[in-house]
Chains A and B, each alone.
Chain A
Amino acid sequence: MSGVLVRRRARPAPYLLLIPAILVLLLGMGYPVVWQITTSFQEFGLAQQFGKPAEWVGLQNYIGLATDPQFWAVLARSIAFCIVGAAATVIIGTALALLMTRVPAAIRLTLQVSLLLAWAMPIVAAMTVWIWLFDRRRGAVNYVLGLLGIDMHRYDWLSNPWTFFLVAGVIVVWMSVPFVAFSVYAGLTQVSDEVIEAASLDGANAWQRFRLVIAPLIAPVLSIVLVLNLIWDLRVFTHFTFLQDAGGKSSEFDVLGTYIYKVGAGAGDFGTSAAVSILTLAITILLSWFYVRQTIKEDKAS
């Protein structure tokens, strides 16, 4: 293995190294991805799953979606959720990372362990405990708000789309911030003290120091965590499934992930469900285009 590290000019080497990864991708994702794409152009329902030949319908599944106001509503909601969620995650994560650089080691470790605990929570366990925290009868949230003088007696957070999405946002941000905070903190430790020192000597205030000195240095990490969070928040599924089981289940509570599942597994229209997936992929590429372009450019440059 070590040899290939240095054998820079061997021609077949890169391809050999890629074989295992490509093979496992083909094995694990190849057929499903091809199936997904072809199915999106077919009429494919439960009958087809039970052996009836699938009929090619061209773009019909896509046209059906484009003319369905409910799909547009779900799409708009998902994009809004994804942008707000990813932005909040990155802002809070960066703030916590900066905070870590400002506190003594012991306190920093406390904060890090706390974030680590949140990060390590298995999603099923996390959702279960959050749903219970927001339970309208026995939830700690309503109780504590009550103590603070805000009367939330029996308030059902999960029955109103706005508070439902607020709760979902809180949970998603809670789970994603640790990764961002650690990554950005890691980036910050690379910014040498002298640079910051020099900046403060030059009279830059905190915001200027961040904007002019620190931000450009951690820009690469900020852009990768931003793009990752955009991807993850747009295809968020498990969180919403659990919340829907505990609260509202109607289409006002849907995001793309649950919509795909409802249309496919629920209503048995796998063709349309595959088409939504492909559209979601396309939209994610668009949303993260800034990153894709930057990657290609950097790559050409290096």
Chain B
Amino acid sequence: MTAVPVRRSKRNATRIGGVRPATIVWSVVAVVVAIVWAFPVYWMVNSAFVPNIELQSFIPKFFPVHPTWSNFAGAVADGSFFQALGISLAVTLIAVVGSILFAFLAALAISRFRFRGRVSFLLVLLFIQMLPAEALFIAQYKMVAAAGLLDTIVGTSVIYIAYIVPFTVWMLRGFVAGIPAELEEAAMVDGLSRTGAFLRITFPLLAPGLVASAVYAFLQAWNEFTVALVTLTSDQMQTLPLWLRGFVQASATRETDWGQVMAASTLVAIPVIVFFLIVQGRLTSGLVAGAVKG
């Protein structure tokens, strides 16, 4: 990190110890922001518990005074939710593991070696992320179909990995660069095996970076819609976004049943929220280590 010249001022500092009132003000601001930011999420969960009959009123229900499970029951009634949950989990898992692994190896190459084509490779990774996906689906379909992987978890996952890898390489290379190779060498001098050195020294240092990348990969794979639509062709192979969209559309053919739609949305969100809360601690430190060196 570069040292920064601080311009000297003649004026004396006016508040060195007296920060308390300011802290209170900032705390109030922070709580208000937290409430505002979480409100849509609260609204979704709240509405999922409000009986449909009350949701039809023009006066919004800010609390589920008469909470009900019937919206959830309606959303999972035909069992297709659980099927889609399974597909989504499988696709996401493969995509996360695959993209992290491949990206980690590539990040090693980029940050530990100087080689021909290195900068070009980096730029290709950056540019690929900029290409809009909305016109790609015809070609993606043809490719997956030609490989005989249409309507399979693997076929869709491979496209996801290709989508996710560029950004994760970009993210991870900062982490890897931040870990001096000398550290590992030193550990080996101290008698640890190569694997031991990696597992004990390098891996813990990398873990936050891997978590931050995994979060990104998870969100991408969990949310993706268009590729899933064209490559997962049968009803049995729907991912959750496809399921939710189908559910919302089916509901809209009559009068949208907001209670059920919110319950369905909540169900789709729960796995991600759980995942995020699990990795939360690591995530912050992961971003710390990686982003600054970006």
Query: Does chain A touch chain B in the assembled complex, meaning CB atoms less than 8 Å apart?
Result: yes
Known: A24-B165, A212-B7. A122 touches B241 (CB 8 A): yes
In Å, the complex CA distance between A64 and B220 comes to 34
In the complex the two chains form, is A260's CB within 8 Å of B7's CB?
A: no
- Interface positions, chain A 249-272, Cβ under 8 Å from B, are 256-258, 260-261, 264-265, 270
In the complex the two chains form, is B33's CB within 8 Å of A102's CB?
A: no
Q: Which residue from A2, A129, A203, A216 sits with its C-beta under 8 Å from B43? A: A129
Known: A116-B280, A129-B265, A203-B13. A3 touches B30 (CB 8 A): no
Interface string of B85-104 (1 = CB under 8 A from A): 00000000000001001110
Interface string of B1-20 (1 = CB under 8 A from A): 11010111111110010000
In the complex the two chains form, is B30's CB within 8 Å of A220's CB?
A: no
In Å, the complex CA distance between A235 and B293 comes to 26
Interface string of A88-121 (1 = CB under 8 A from B): 0000000010011011100110111111111111
Q: B43 — which chain A residues lie within 8 A by C-beta? A: 129, 132-133, 140
In the complex the two chains form, is B265's CB within 8 Å of A128's CB?
A: yes
Q: Which residue from A132, A177, A184, A260 sits with its C-beta under 8 Å from B258? A: A132
Task: Give the dominant DSSP class at B's interface.
Answer: helix
Q: B22 — which chain A residues lie within 8 A by C-beta? A: 102
In Å, the complex CA distance between A302 and B280 comes to 33
- Interface positions, chain B 113-143, Cβ under 8 Å from A, are 113, 115, 118-119, 121-123, 126-140, 142-143
In the complex the two chains form, is A125's CB within 8 Å of B30's CB?
A: no
A174 adjacent to chain B (CB < 8 Å): yes
- Interface positions, chain A 227-261, Cβ under 8 Å from B, are 231, 234-235, 237-238, 256-258, 260-261
Q: A35 — which chain B residues lie within 8 A by C-beta? A: 136, 138-139, 142
B55 adjacent to chain A (CB < 8 Å): yes
Q: B26 — which chain A residues lie within 8 A by C-beta? A: 99, 102-103
Closest Cβ of chain A to B222, distance in Å, is: 6
Known: A8-B112, A31-B142, A143-B59. A126 touches B40 (CB 8 A): yes
Closest Cβ of chain A to B10, distance in Å, is: 7
Q: B140 — which chain A residues lie within 8 A by C-beta? A: 32
In the complex the two chains form, is A195's CB within 8 Å of B4's CB?
A: yes
In the complex the two chains form, is B58's CB within 8 Å of A111's CB?
A: no
A36 adjacent to chain B (CB < 8 Å): yes
In Å, the complex CA distance between A299 and B128 comes to 19
In Å, the complex CA distance between A217 and B56 comes to 52
In Å, the complex CA distance between A6 and B261 comes to 53
Q: Which residue from A49, A133, A190 sits with its C-beta under 8 Å from B288? A: A190
Q: Which residue from B40, B184, B268, B293 sits with its C-beta under 8 Å from A118? A: B40
- Interface positions, chain A 130-145, Cβ under 8 Å from B, are 130, 132-133, 137-140, 143
Interface string of A1-35 (1 = CB under 8 A from B): 11111101000011101101110110111011101
Q: Determine which residue in A100, A120, A195 has the highest number of CB atoms from chain B within 10 A of its CB, and name it.
A: A120
Q: Which residue from A6, A117, A224 sits with its C-beta under 8 Å from B294? A: A224
In the complex the two chains form, is A183's CB within 8 Å of B266's CB?
A: no
In Å, the complex CA distance between A99 and B44 comes to 27
Closest Cβ of chain B to A75, distance in Å, is: 13
Q: B16 — which chain A residues lie within 8 A by C-beta? A: 200-201
In the complex the two chains form, is A235's CB within 8 Å of B132's CB?
A: yes
A47 adjacent to chain B (CB < 8 Å): no
In Å, the complex CA distance between A200 and B273 comes to 39
Please give the number of chain A residues whose Cβ is less than 8 angstroms from any Cβ of chain B in the complex.
119
In the complex the two chains form, is A117's CB within 8 Å of B41's CB?
A: yes
A292 adjacent to chain B (CB < 8 Å): yes
Task: Give the dominant DSSP class at A's interface.
Answer: helix
B53 adjacent to chain A (CB < 8 Å): no
In Å, the complex CA distance between A224 and B10 comes to 35
In the complex the two chains form, is A103's CB within 8 Å of B287's CB?
A: no
Q: B159 — which chain A residues lie within 8 A by C-beta? A: 28-29
Closest Cβ of chain A to B23, distance in Å, is: 7
Q: Which residue from A13, A140, A270 sits with its C-beta under 8 Å from B138? A: A270
Q: Determine which residue in A6, A49, A112, A218 has the highest number of CB atoms from chain B within 10 A of its CB, and name it.
A: A6
Known: A5-B181, A187-B292. A24 touches B266 (CB 8 A): no
Closest Cβ of chain A to B267, distance in Å, is: 9
Q: Which residue from B35, B122, B134 sits with its C-beta under 8 Å from A264? A: B134
B195 adjacent to chain A (CB < 8 Å): yes
Known: A2-B195, A122-B222, A284-B130. A213 touches B184 (CB 8 A): no
In Å, the complex CA distance between A122 and B286 comes to 22
In Å, the complex CA distance between A8 and B109 comes to 10
In Å, the complex CA distance between A120 and B102 comes to 24
What are 8 A-B pairs at a CB distance below 8 A? A13-B113, A24-B161, A25-B165, A39-B139, A103-B27, A139-B60, A182-B283, A224-B294
- Kindly list 6 other residue pairs between chains A and B, CB separation below 8 angstroms, not including A128-B244, A218-B292: A6-B194, A28-B159, A31-B139, A32-B143, A195-B6, A264-B134
Chain B contact residues, CB within 8 Å of chain A: 1-2, 4, 6-13, 16, 22-23, 26-27, 29-31, 33-35, 37-38, 40-41, 43-44, 47, 55-60, 62, 98, 101-103, 105-106, 108-110, 112-113, 115, 118-119, 121-123, 126-140, 142-143, 158-163, 165-166, 169, 181, 184-185, 188, 194-195, 197-199, 202, 219, 222-223, 225, 240-241, 244-245, 248, 258, 261-262, 265-266, 268-269, 272-273, 275-277, 280, 283-294
**Nearest 6 A-B pairs (CB), nearest first?**
A28-B162, A2-B198, A125-B265, A186-B288, A35-B139, A203-B9
